[in-house]
Structure 1
Amino acid sequence: MTIDPFWVQVNEPTLMQGDYLPGCLVPVPLFDPTTFGKKDNETQEVEVEVNELDLIVLTQSCDLDNNKVNQVVVCTIYQISEFEEANPAFAKKGKWNEVLAGRIEGLHLLASPSNPDNNREALVVNFREIYSLPYKYILKYATDLDCRWRLKSPYLEHFSQAFARLFMRVGLPSSIPRF
């Protein structure tokens, strides 16, 4: 039996950053934002689509541990084959090496929890598909999974840093000339 350096299986009533939550139900409101809004104190109905998505927790573990959040930030995580099916450009040779090197912003690769040596089974985190879901809902969902995968250090910190890099970018109107 080999020990997975990337993930650990947990079965506990806690929630941590880096918890992998497969098949979680995510409600998504459907409406035209240009026509939505209250008119003359009238309420409007909003249609909601419920999607079953694989998610990974982004909220910091310290905030989850200390009950500092009512909402948990999560993002989607895909099998490479599933991501390529929806995004055929990523099936081209060398594209995943660009993601692995951090050159494709918004995407991050994680080793497969069940087969970390097979890069074709790696997981694609899409930091551009973010959801905020109630803490109690996510905690119950995670706890109801018999076992779930949790990223181990230092891969957890690398994952967190990749997310931070996407949101900490600063675009300048001008800079000093190139050398």
Structure 2
Amino acid sequence: MKYPWYESINKSSQILQGDFVLNCPIIIPPVTFEDEQDVSVKLLNAIIMSQSCDIENGKVDIILVCPYYNLEDFLPLHPTSKDGSKGSRKKVIDNLLHGNYPNCHILQKDIDLNIKDYLVVDFRNVYGIHYEFLKNHISKISNRNRLLPPYREHLSQAFARYFMRVGLPINIEI
């Protein structure tokens, strides 16, 4: 049985976990806050991380999103693959595939839906976007993609694992 990774959404303002938002406007607050201060807006490719049930039942005003990158854009940024050798590149890809980097998660490519490269979701920087703002923004997008189950749940589980890590002050020595 074949399980597709994605579906294409046409002209919809519905927001669900696993929705991709190209050029998602992220408001970056200043380092310090004064009475009148400029804020910057960063455009990122992002994926919705808030739970669909919370979104649909109006239980969240702020929707969590994480940036994602094409694998080819991600690899040069990763410290392990900085030397550019095929061996280090392969090691990073293998570690991504096996879930050995808790701060990110890899997703399949889909040429038919114009996802031409594998995608790497970055959990290190999580952003919040007001629901109404995001709904208005995506209603203007004619076509976008949505990650489907069970891959959406797999992403959600990886996200949870990243945030539930506990750093111990002393390691267990055997």
TM bin, normalised by shorter chain, reads 0.7 to 0.9
1:73 pairs, out of 43, 47, 64, with 64
- CA radius of gyration, larger in: 1
Match of 2:101 in 1: 104
Match of 2:5 in 1: 6
Match of 1:20 in 2: 20
**In structure 2, do the counterparts of structure 1 residues 176 and 127 end up closer, same or farther at CA, with 3 Å as the change threshold?**
closer
Taking the TM superposition and a 5 Å limit, the aligned residue runs for 1:95-174 are 95-114=92-111, 121-174=117-170
Work out the CA distance in 2 between the residues paired with 1:105 and 1:156.
16
Match of 2:50 in 1: 59
Task: Give RMSD over aligned pairs.
Answer: 2.4
Work out the CA distance in 2 between the residues paired with 1:177 and 1:79.
39
Stretch of structure 1 that moved more, 149-158 or 93-102: 93-102
The Cα shift of 1:131 comes to: 0.4
Work out the CA distance in 2 between the residues paired with 1:146 and 1:4.
25
2:80 pairs, out of 86, 89, 93, with 89
Q: Which runs of 5+ in 2 are unaligned?
A: none
Q: TM-score, normalised by structure 1?
A: 0.81
Q: TM-score, normalised by structure 2?
A: 0.83
Work out the CA distance in 2 between the residues paired with 1:173 and 1:85.
32
Q: Which runs of 5+ in 1 are unaligned?
A: 38-42
Any idea what the Cα deviations from partners look like across 1:67-112, whole Å, max 9, x if unmatched?
1111100010111122234346335232111011111120100112
